[in-house]
Amino acid sequence: MTDFKPPLALRAATPSGWAAAALADPEALLSDHAHCEKKAALTALNLAKHLGDMPHAPALLARLADEELDHYRRVLEGLQLFGWTLLADRGNAYAQALHRLASKGLLDQLLIAAVIEARSCERLWLLEQGAAAHPTLGYAPWLAFLLELERCEAGHALAYRSLAEEKFGLAALARLDWWLDREAEVVRAVPWRSAVH
């Protein structure tokens, strides 16, 4: 197993036992992930509205939203492939806890998006390792997809961090430091389930 390097310096590593817990109910895992990808696309489009004064930001975020929609479609197709249905959205306690801590408007929205993308990247890597360790689970077709997703979400984390830095300068770096501590607290507090977060 190679070491994982998250795109942002996350301050709480997910324990290795997490992947087995998440993979215990793959229909729930993929359903939840489909909802997350759709929300990620909507987040990018929503943030683009607020960054119209930065010439390259709307196009960058449109491209990011396009990638998330592609992930959404492909996760839905994966559900179909396995003969599963899209289960109801049970909400995302992790993201909700982060948003409850936000108090600095657009800066916090960009940084929350950055840390969620970075955590997604770590969790996808763990799922990939977990699925590879249990080939009998029938995840083989998913390994390449998970790896591709993981690389994509890493790029998204860096894009959101760059946008925050461009827009808010040094204040963004100080606030990111604060968010990395909060994210570590939140991720340790949220119970494990068959979901990426």
Pick the binder of Fe ion from 119, 156, 161, 197 (CB under 5 A): 156
Span near Fe ion by CB under 5 A; candidates 2-10, 46-54, 137-145, 153-161: 153-161
Burial of 102 (0-12, 13-18, 19+ CB in 10 A): middle
Of the candidates 20, 50, 44, 10, which has an alpha carbon nearest to the alpha carbon of residue 36? 44
Please give the structure tokens belonging to residue 53: 């004064």
- The residues in 7-26 that bind Fe ion, with binding defined as CB under 5 A, are none
Residue in the structure block whose two tokens are 């509205």: 49
Nearest CB to Fe ion, comparing residues 133 and 158: 158
Nearest CB to Fe ion, comparing residues 112 and 133: 112
Please give the structure tokens belonging to residue 58: 């709307």
Contact (CB, 8 A) for 166 and 105: no
Span near Fe ion by CB under 5 A; candidates 45-53, 68-76, 91-99, 166-174: 68-76
Span near Fe ion by CB under 5 A; candidates 75-83, 128-136, 150-158, 182-190: 150-158
Nearest CB to Fe ion, comparing residues 72 and 168: 72
Pick the binder of Fe ion from 110, 153, 160, 176 (CB under 5 A): 153
Contact (CB, 8 A) for 72 and 45: no
Nearest CB to Fe ion, comparing residues 94 and 133: 94
- The residues in 103-132 that bind Fe ion, with binding defined as CB under 5 A, are 117
Residue in the structure block whose two tokens are 């461009």: 166
Q: Assess 33 for contact with Fe ion (CB under 5 A).
A: no
The dihedral over CA atoms of 163, 52, 119, 171, expressed in degrees to the nearest 10, equals 40
83: left (phi over 0), alpha (psi -120 to 50) or beta: left
Pick the binder of Fe ion from 38, 71, 161, 197 (CB under 5 A): 71
Span near Fe ion by CB under 5 A; candidates 18-26, 64-72, 99-107, 130-138: 64-72
Can you spell out the DSSP letters for 132-176? HH-GGGS-HHHHHHHHHHHHHHHHHHHHHHHHHHHHHTHHHHHHH
Q: Assess 68 for contact with Fe ion (CB under 5 A).
A: yes
| Contact residues for Fe ion, defined by CB under 5 A | 37, 40, 68, 71, 117, 153, 156
